[in-house]
């Protein structure tokens, strides 16, 4: 069964800290992996997408890596800010049909 | 323009009502999706349309009826819903057939079934 797991479920850090969010997936035959951000009661905002042939993607203070052999992806956030507070979801796709398998999310709180 | 719009933002309906949710995008995407999200849970896929044809139905009860009248529009018709169907309903769209198939999500419709 294809499953995606995110640890920890919640994380609280002081402003300015660098942090890593973890995502693991059971089936390494991944098509791509996406990281999303969701603010309370809102839709999802796409942050980064890593194709199966790539090892990492960067956007501003965000860096996502993909290690298919170990079934892991990480999202690195540099110099965290209170505005980064949100739930972060990773989602794996195994074909071009578009079905995403989501992790349970990590709820991040960045304290001023 | 990378926007997916959804209407209405909020909806309250009784179990005997019929209502519809609407989703629209103008990014030229030919894949559109409906997700259901309960509080503190990740989104669950309900339906996928590819080139205006239903390609995935995740065993959703027939009281939910999707419709894709054209490449920019996606509807979800609701009838005889149950209180447990109360949730945030999210629409998304993406290109088809490319590995960089980022899904763009709308803000959602928050549905309350009484």
Closest-CA distance, B19 to chain A, in angstroms, reads: 21
Q: How confident is the model at residue B1 (pLDDT cuts 50, 70, 90)?
A: low
Q: Is A2 a residue whose pLDDT tops 90?
A: no
Q: Do B42 and A99 touch (CB under 8 A)?
A: no
- Is the CB of A31 inside 8 Å of chain B's CB atoms? yes
Question: In this predicted model, what pLDDT tens digit does every residue of B18-73 receive, in sequence order?
Answer: 999 999 999 999 999 999 999 999 999 999 999 999 998 999 999 999 999 999 99
Q: How many CA atoms lie within 13 A of B12 on its CB side?
A: 1
Question: In this predicted model, what pLDDT tens digit does every residue of A40-95 receive, in sequence order?
Answer: 988 999 999 999 999 999 999 999 999 999 999 999 999 999 999 999 999 999 87
For residue B35, with 0-12 CB atoms within 10 Å meaning exposed, 13-18 middle and 19 or more buried, which class applies?
Answer: buried
- Among A51, A103, A98, A80, CA closest to B58: A98
Q: Do A96 and B100 touch (CB under 8 A)?
A: no
| Termini Cα distance of chain B | 36
Tokens 């054209």 identify what position?
B70
Tokens 């920019």 identify what position?
B72
Question: In this predicted model, what pLDDT tens digit does every residue of B74-101 receive, in sequence order?
Answer: 999 999 999 999 999 999 999 887 666 7
Cis previous bond, A15, omega within 30: no
Spatial contact of B96 and B89, defined as CB atoms under 8 Å apart? no
Please state, in angstroms and rounded to a whole number, the distance separating the CA atoms of residues B44 and B49: 15
B44 forms bridges with which residues in the sheet? B36
Query: In this structure, are strands A100-102 and A4-7 parallel, antiparallel, or unpaired?
Result: unpaired
Vertex B39: Cα angle to B38 and B41 (nearest 5): 70
């Amino acid at each position: 069964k294809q499953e995606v797991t995110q640890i920890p479920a919640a994380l609280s850090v002081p402003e300015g800290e660098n942090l890593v969010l973890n995502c693991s997936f059971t089936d390494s035959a991944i098509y791509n992996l996406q990281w999303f951000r969701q603010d309370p009661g809102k839709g999802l905002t796409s942050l980064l997408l890593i194709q199966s042939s790539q090892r990492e993607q960067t956007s501003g203070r965000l860096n996502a890596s993909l290690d298919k052999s170990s079934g892991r992806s990480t999202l690195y956030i540099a110099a965290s800010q209170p505005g980064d507070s949100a739930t972060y979801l990773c989602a794996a796709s195994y074909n071009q049909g578009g079905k995403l398998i989501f992790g349970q999310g990590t709820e991040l709180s960045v304290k001023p | 323009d990378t926007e997916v719009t959804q209407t209405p933002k909020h909806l309250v309906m009784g179990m005997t009502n019929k209502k519809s949710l609407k989703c629209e995008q103008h990014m030229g995407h030919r894949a559109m999706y409906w997700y259901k999200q309960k509080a503190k849970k990740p989104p669950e896929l309900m339906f996928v349309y590819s080139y205006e044809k239903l390609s995935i139905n995740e065993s959703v009860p027939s009281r939910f009826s999707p419709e894709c009248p054209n490449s920019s529009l996606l509807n979800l018709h609701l009838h005889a819903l149950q209180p447990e169907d109360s949730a945030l309903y999210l629409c998304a769209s993406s290109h088809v057939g490319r590995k960089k198939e980022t899904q763009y999500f709308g803000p959602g419709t928050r549905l309350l079934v009484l």
